[in-house]
Amino acid sequence: MMCRLPYHVFLLMILCVSLPMQESSADQPNVVFILADDMGYGDLGCYGHPVAKTPHIDRLAEQGVRFTQHYANGPECSPTRTAFLTGRYQQRAGGMECAIGTGNVGRYDDAIRLADERQLGLPAEQTVIPGALADVGYACGVFGKWHLGYEPHFNPIDHGWDSFFGYLGGNVHYFNHRETSDLHVLFQGRLPVYREGYMTHLITDDAVAFIENSRNQPFFLYVAHECPHFPFQGPEDSEKEVTAANWMEKDAKTYVAMLEDLDAEVGRLLAVIDREGLADNTVVVFVSDNGGFAGAADMGPLRGAKSTTFEGGIRVPLIIRWPNHIAAGTHSDQVSATFDLTKSFLRLAGAEVGDDRLDGIDVIDHVANQRDDISRTLFWRGKRGDVTWSAVRHGDQKLVRHTEGVETEEWLFDLAGDISEKTDLLSQQSAVAVNLKKLLADWEQEVKPVR
CATH number at residue 428: 3.30.1120.10
- Which carries the bigger pLDDT value, residue 9 or residue 412? 412
Helices (H), 65-165: 77-86, 109-116, 131-135
Is there a domain that residue 2 lies in?
no
Is there a domain that residue 8 lies in?
no
Residue 245: CB atoms within 10 Å? 9
Check whether 250 has a pLDDT greater than 50: yes
Are residues 204 and 265 in contact, defined by beta-carbon separation less than 8 angstroms? yes
The 10s digit of each residue's pLDDT in 284-313 is 999 999 999 999 999 999 999 999 999 999
Are residues 230 and 293 in contact, defined by beta-carbon separation less than 8 angstroms? yes
**Do 244 and 288 fall within a single domain?**
yes
**Do 171 and 197 fall within a single domain?**
yes
**Do 126 and 275 fall within a single domain?**
yes
Q: Could you give the CA distance from residue 78 to residue 35 in angstroms, rounded to a whole number?
A: 13
**Do 312 and 439 fall within a single domain?**
no
**Do 295 and 435 fall within a single domain?**
no
| Residue among 163, 368, 398 at smallest CA distance from 285 | 368
Are residues 82 and 68 in contact, defined by beta-carbon separation less than 8 angstroms? no
Q: Could you give the CA distance from residue 162 to residue 213 in angstroms, rounded to a whole number?
A: 12
Number of domains in the chain: 2
**Which of 346, 375, 404 lies at the terminal end of a domain, its last residue?**
375
- Residue 5 pLDDT level (bands cut at 50, 70, 90): very low
DSSP assigned state of 170:
S
Are residues 65 and 132 in contact, defined by beta-carbon separation less than 8 angstroms? no
**Which of 375, 403, 438 lies at the terminal end of a domain, its last residue?**
375
**pLDDT at position 26, please?**
56
**Do 56 and 173 fall within a single domain?**
yes
Is there a domain that residue 21 lies in?
no
Bridge-based pairing state of the strands 318-321 and 282-288: antiparallel
The 10s digit of each residue's pLDDT in 129-141 is 999 999 999 999 9
The 10s digit of each residue's pLDDT in 194-206 is 999 999 999 999 9
Quote the domain boundaries for residue 336: 29-375
The 10s digit of each residue's pLDDT in 42-89 is 999 999 999 999 999 999 999 999 999 999 999 999 999 999 999 999
**Which of 375, 400, 428 lies at the terminal end of a domain, its last residue?**
375
Is there a domain that residue 285 lies in?
yes
Q: What is the mean pLDDT of the chain?
A: 94
**Do 361 and 390 fall within a single domain?**
no
Based on its alpha-carbon atoms, the radius of gyration of the chain, rounded to whole angstroms, reads 22
Is there a domain that residue 151 lies in?
yes
**Do 67 and 189 fall within a single domain?**
yes
Is there a domain that residue 20 lies in?
no
DSSP assigned state of 105:
B
**Do 136 and 196 fall within a single domain?**
yes
Are residues 30 and 278 in contact, defined by beta-carbon separation less than 8 angstroms? yes
Is there a domain that residue 13 lies in?
no
**Do 43 and 69 fall within a single domain?**
yes
| Residue among 22, 3, 5 at smallest CA distance from 13 | 5
Is there a domain that residue 9 lies in?
no
**Do 121 and 182 fall within a single domain?**
yes
**Do 184 and 298 fall within a single domain?**
yes
Check whether 114 has a pLDDT greater than 80: yes
CATH number for the domain including 370? Answer: 3.40.720.10
